[in-house]
Amino acid sequence: MFSLTEDQIAFIENDIRVRGITSSDLRIDLLDHICCLVENESDGTENFELVYERILLLFGAKGLREIQDETNRLLTFKHYYIMNATMKISGYVSSIMILLGAILKINHLFPANILIVSGVFFFTVLFLPLMFILKYKSEEESNRSILLSIIGGIASIIISIGVLFKIMHWPGSLSLTLTGAVLLVLGYLPVYFISIYKKTTNKINATSTAIILIAFVGLFLSANKNDMGKNYADSLLQMNENTNQMLSFVEVQNKINYKKIDERKAIDSMAIRKIKLLRAETDELDTYIQNLKTHLIACAENISEATAMNVKLEDLHDPGEYQIPTSLLLMPSNSDSPYTAVKLKNKIEKFKQTISNRITSDVNLTDLNTDSTREDESWELMNFRNIPLAFVIHRLTQIELAVKTTESILLNQLQ
């Protein structure tokens, strides 16, 4: 059997060191392993250098250096492979969930919000931190690359959390999104541009990447607000202003009529009972609608109901928001919430029945109709599903006006 000489063994040991094997234990193991392979492959007549080069090819394209890198990972980062697998799986799962949730959300299908929230959660809590840790632990990364990973990772996490807060309608979503965007543009981009632009062949790539990233951030921030179109918003504000003016006028007239009735001495006792019943029923329904509007504004704007009572339609920060009013108004009828579309409908029907059965049937209640005009949708879905907050408030004001108008008509009849 062919045996290596001491000079050949010394050559192999020195070459192993030159090829980047810094660990003494690993060098000894590799030296022993390579010497055995060379002795088994050589018959003593073939050139030693040729046999040695052929043996090195068995260690792959990256050669012995890859073994050193893998050893370092195992020694300094024992859970590398588990974390790497977790990062990949969480990345695939979260991206698919977010994409599928976005598609369902566009078509207003269930469970869009659950998928998006879960996807953003896995993306933020698992994928981004693991990606940052793995890149940080990689010895192949330069200091500048590590800095890019840190800034990009933190900015991505902040933006992702901001998006999650936006979806869940938690306070602070805009602040988080702006912080992440500023960190991305003012922190990540300069470091990236400096590190890449110095390489002549990458100047075009660096410039185009910077432009695309800035444009993306701008578009993202623009789309972050769910505003309605200006023309539509202005038209809605004008309609709501007109409705409120009419409502104020009718309320004033009703107060005048009640005052006249109170001042009259000769009035039928039956009429008095009907007037008191009308006033009680109207006040009950009107108070419920006002409280419902206050509740919706408070939840959507994340403010107290005391503050929400003084918020006008034009003061809403996000008049195009439709998820909160939809989720609140379309809760199941057996929910604990006192403010749902079903309960509003029941109160309207109770008001109409009281008017028809105990006051008079000679009154037009068309404006308070709660029958659906579509076979596949109930009155609640038709009026409040995926409808912007501003329009929901306007619709409730219209119902309030219809109630007060009915009260006014009946007061004139009963006097």
Q: What residue ranges do the domains of the chain occupy?
A: 6-73, 141-224, 230-414
pLDDT at 282: 94
Q: Tens digits of per-residue pLDDT, 305-327?
A: 999 898 888 888 778 777 888 88
DSSP symbol at 227? P
Burial class (CB in 10 A: 0-12, 13-18, 19+), 394: buried
Task: Give the predicted TM-score (pTM) of the model.
Answer: 0.51
pLDDT at 226 over 70: no
Q: What is the pLDDT of residue 406?
A: 92
Amino acid at 312: K
Q: What is the mean pLDDT of the chain?
A: 79
pLDDT band at 387 (very low <50, low <70, confident <90, very high): confident
| 236 band by pLDDT with thresholds 50, 70 and 90 | confident
**Which residues make Cβ contacts (< 8 Å) with residue 140, sequence separation at least 6?**
69
pLDDT value, residue 139: 47
Instruction: Tell me the per-residue pLDDT of 254-297, one tens digit each, with 9 for 90 and over.
Output: 999 888 888 776 667 888 889 899 999 999 999 999 999 999 99
User: Cβ–Cβ contacts within 10 Å for residue 132, how many?
Assistant: 19
Residue 344: which residues within 8 A CB-CB, separation 6 or more?
288, 289, 292, 329, 399
Q: Which of 4-18, 58-72, 179-193, 287-301 has the lowest mean pLDDT?
A: 58-72
Q: Are 94 and 127 in contact (CB under 8 A)?
A: yes
Of residues 6 and 23, more confidence is placed in 6
Overall residue count recorded for the chain in this entry: 415
C-alpha span between 37 and 56 (Å, rounded): 10
Q: Does residue 392 have a pLDDT over 50?
A: yes
Query: pLDDT at position 44, please?
Result: 67
| 33 has pLDDT over 90 | no
Among residues 41, 33, 31, 40, which one has the least CA distance to residue 8? Answer: 31
CB atoms within 10 A of CB 3: 10
Please list, in sequence order, all residues whose beta carbon lies within 8 angstroms of the beta carbon of residue 136, skipping any fewer than 6 positions away: 146, 149, 150
pLDDT at 119: 85
- For residue 396, the model assigns a pLDDT of 94
Percentage of residues of the chain with pLDDT beyond 70: 75
The closest of 89, 85, 94 to 163, measured between CA atoms, is 94
Phi/psi of residue 134, nearest 5 degrees: -65, -40
